[in-house]
Amino acid sequence: MEMRKCGKSDIEVSVLGMGCWSYGGDEESYWGKQEQSAVNEVVAAALDRGINYFDTAEGYNAGRSEEALGVALKGRRDEAVISTKIGPDNTAPAVLREHCEASLARLGTDYIDIYYVHWPITEHSVEDAFATLCDLKDEGKIRSLAVSNFGILQLTEALGTGAQIDLNQICYNLLSRAIEVEIVPLCLKHDIGIVPYMPLMQGLLTGKYGSVDEVPPNRRRTRHFRGDVEPARHGDPGAETETFAVLAQLRKICAEEDIPMAQLALAWAMARPGVTSVLVGARDLDQLADNAAAAELTLETELIHHLDDLTYPLLEELGSNADYWQSRENSRSR
Ligand SMILES: NC(=O)c1ccc[n+]([C@@H]2O[C@H](COP(=O)([O-])OP(=O)(O)OC[C@H]3O[C@@H](n4cnc5c(N)ncnc54)[C@H](OP(=O)(O)O)[C@@H]3O)[C@@H](O)[C@H]2O)c1
């Protein structure tokens, strides 16, 4: 498994990372129920395959994702790089400290390898938040500071505090390339690694859905889909025809090249400039095996260019707004 360095830090993560959002979920959760036994099995198998990076958040299933990951890593903590995230509303200095301690307790560890600010901070002082994060780093509770869903203005403001920011975790996949316009160039300039989330577009890029109607409603909230149907909230017209036309083309390419679509999508993301680790949510051992195979796949340059050309019209249609859940006007990433 290829390892890549996280920004300016000395932390190395596998090019494929494990997204742990579904861990600790019950029937009411976004991803449905996930038994602890399944989490234990997938985490152990990932480590055995050389995947060392596990991403969770205090907000995932109200802290139960962190707990489930902590349980699954018992006895193997030192083999893993754990990232978790602080919600932006919890970044007032004293609250941030409390929340960091609570994450440490739930994870059953005394240090967090990578601590992300989950979304840009709007309600508190950015200066104070990053000063507190730097203190937590000096105290050894955090090894690396990172951000998630930050646009260029927010990145510039965060860098202006003098904090070393190693990663920006953000939505990036063949159907969602907004960050290439402004965010990737700025990250490259400051040696901030890109950590793509939703590289399979919540399953769309595995080829399992043939039409819009087959996509579960809660996976139709992004600007690829109509914005006037609940639970979408962006209000834009969407790009359903274009999205499914691209998926049909991708299906054809995968058949010709004899590559499963999930592997093509992941290998494409791993090959993009600036990408450190691609986070994918694998729910069972079969999905893990499928996704891990992508890390062994090297796509021909010609094929990559073909995929870029094929998906470019969708980038033009959906624009450079990296918040795929909100219109440009209401974008949280600026
Ligand atoms: N920072 C942020 O704001 C943010 C936002 C979103 C996600 N994330 C992180 O990124 C991680 C990954 O994103 P994601 O889980 O939303 O999306 P994703 O990786 O694009 O999709 C994951 C889902 O696709 C399906 N899947 C995965 N591998 C598959 C395979 N080989 N074949 C068929 N289906 C497969 C599974 O769902 P089914 O089997 O149910 O179809 C799985 O839950 C999250 O777990 C989280 O850690 C971060």
- Would residue 242 count as lying in a domain? no
State the total domains in the chain: 1
- Quote the distance between the C-alpha of residue 184 and its chain's center: 15
Identify the bridge partners of residue 148 per DSSP, sorted by sequence position: 169
- Would residue 249 count as lying in a domain? no
| Ligand 1, atom 21, residue with closest C-alpha | 202
- Would residue 164 count as lying in a domain? yes
Q: Is 324 in the pocket of ligand 1 (CB under 6 A)?
A: no
Q: What integer pLDDT is reported at residue 35 of this predicted model?
A: 94
- Would residue 231 count as lying in a domain? no
pLDDT, the chain, mean: 97
Whether residue 268 is predicted with pLDDT greater than 90 in this model: the reply is yes
**Per-residue pLDDT reduced to its tens digit, 190-242:** 999 999 999 999 999 999 999 999 999 999 999 999 999 899 999 999 999 99
**CATH number, domain at 189?**
3.20.20.100
- Would residue 160 count as lying in a domain? yes
- Would residue 49 count as lying in a domain? yes
Q: Is 263 in the pocket of ligand 1 (CB under 6 A)?
A: no
For strand 81-86 and strand 142-148, is the pairing parallel, antiparallel, or unpaired? unpaired
Stated pTM of the model: 0.97
> Rounded mean pLDDT of 52-75?
98
Centre of ligand 1 to C-alpha 221, Å, is 15
Among 23, 53, 60, 115, which one carries the catalytic annotation? 60
pLDDT tier, 283 (very low <50, low <70, confident <90, very high otherwise): confident
**Per-residue pLDDT reduced to its tens digit, 238-263:** 999 999 999 999 999 999 999 999 99
- Would residue 283 count as lying in a domain? yes
**Per-residue pLDDT reduced to its tens digit, 10-47:** 999 999 999 999 999 999 898 899 999 999 999 999 99
**Per-residue pLDDT reduced to its tens digit, 179-188:** 999 999 999 9
Q: Is 125 in the pocket of ligand 1 (CB under 6 A)?
A: no
Q: What integer pLDDT is reported at residue 31 of this predicted model?
A: 87
Whether residue 282 is predicted with pLDDT greater than 90 in this model: the reply is no
- Would residue 103 count as lying in a domain? yes
| Ligand 1, atom 19, residue with closest C-alpha | 280
Say if CB 38 and CB 45 are below 8 A apart: no
The boundaries of the domain holding residue 102 are 3-203+261-299
Q: Is 201 in the pocket of ligand 1 (CB under 6 A)?
A: yes
Q: Is 19 in the pocket of ligand 1 (CB under 6 A)?
A: yes
Centre of ligand 1 to C-alpha 36, Å, is 18
Helix axes 126-138, 93-107, angle to 10 degrees: 40
In angstroms, rounded to a whole number, what is the distance separating the alpha carbons of residues 199 and 195?
10
Whether residue 322 is predicted with pLDDT greater than 90 in this model: the reply is yes
